Structure 1
Amino acid sequence: MADITPAELHQRQKAGETPTIIDVREPWEHEEGRIVGAQNIPLGTLPEKLDDLDAWKNQEIIVHCKGGGRSASAKAYLTQQGFTNVRNLEGGFQAYTAAGI
């Protein structure tokens, strides 16, 4: 699945959509700033949270981190585990906030 730009995500949120967003940053990073509605599941804990995410296996999941590296790893991992519609937020939280969103 193609990644998503901060502008596209913002537009969808503005239209009232509530996509499933997973923030794979550490809890302290999530506390400093977050995308509204994002669930914080740090990358290192993703394997143990798979059962909690099973209901979304065939639904769109948007993953993000600070700059896009950890979330790219999360996307690859979830895809390997059978998730069919995982998208990485291009540029991560930094790009999302830099865009004035």
Structure 2
Amino acid sequence: MAPAVLHALVREGRAPRLLDVRTPGEFRTVHIPGSYNVPLATLREHRAELLSHLDEEVVLVCRSGARAAQAEKALAEAGLPNLRVLEGGMNAWEAAGGPANRGAERWDMERQVRLVAGSIVLVTGLVGVFVPGAHLVGTAIGAGLTYAALSNSCAMGVLLSKLPYNRGPRTDIRTVIAELRSTP
């Protein structure tokens, strides 16, 4: 779904259910008002429980659209038919001027991955001058980043998402389901 279309639906009071599949830390930084935070891993684990509470149209949101597409696949496989992905994610939503609730600013996952990967390559390149073979660690990181781009997944991002900085309070699926039940 294009950000402009969703924005129009929100303005008209006809907004679909919005499930934001980013980490709680990313969600706390910025999210669309009225959206529910169900991180991708939680959604995959509890998709059967969510199904009975998502009978209307659902729009899945993440930073750029990649994780939302994975969530769409997981929910579709579980039998949920009315799924859409917010094209371009929160990046496109904000660029289109959509309303957003903001919290404390923090680095997004992509920036963290670039910092960690770049630092490892830099350090192992410098250490490689003195320690033969150390540069191969940087080569392995490069191979991992190449695979991440080709597969549209990122093992380093998954690992970084588990850090306390990114986790924030754990999403309790019972609380999300209770909120879904109580919201018309």
TM-score by length of 1: 0.90
Greater share of residues in helix: 2
Deviation above 4 Å: which 4+ runs of structure 1?
none
Q: Is the 8 A contact 2:6 2:15 kept in 1?
A: no
Partner residue, 2:70: 73
Partner residue, 2:10: 13
State how 1:1-101 maps to structure 2 within 5 Å: 4-101=1-98
Q: Which has the larger radius of gyration?
A: 2
Once the two structures are TM-superposed, the CA of residue 16 in structure 1 deviates from its matched residue by 1.1
Q: What CA RMSD, in Å, does the superposition of the two structures yield over aligned residues?
A: 1.3
Aligned pairs, how many? 98
- Unaligned residue ranges in structure 1 (runs of 5+): none
Alpha-carbon deviations, 1:33-85, whole Å to 9, x = none?
00011000000111233244222454211001000000000001100110011
Q: Identity percentage over the alignment?
A: 39
Determine the C-alpha separation between the residues in 2 that align with 1:10 and 1:78.
23
Q: Which has the higher contact order (CA 8 A, sep 6+)?
A: 1
SS of match in other structure, 1:79: helix
Determine the C-alpha separation between the residues in 2 that align with 1:47 and 1:71.
12
SS of match in other structure, 1:90: coil
Letter in 2 for 1:73: Q
Letter in 2 for 1:44: A
- Unaligned residue ranges in structure 2 (runs of 5+): 99-184
TM-score by length of 2: 0.51
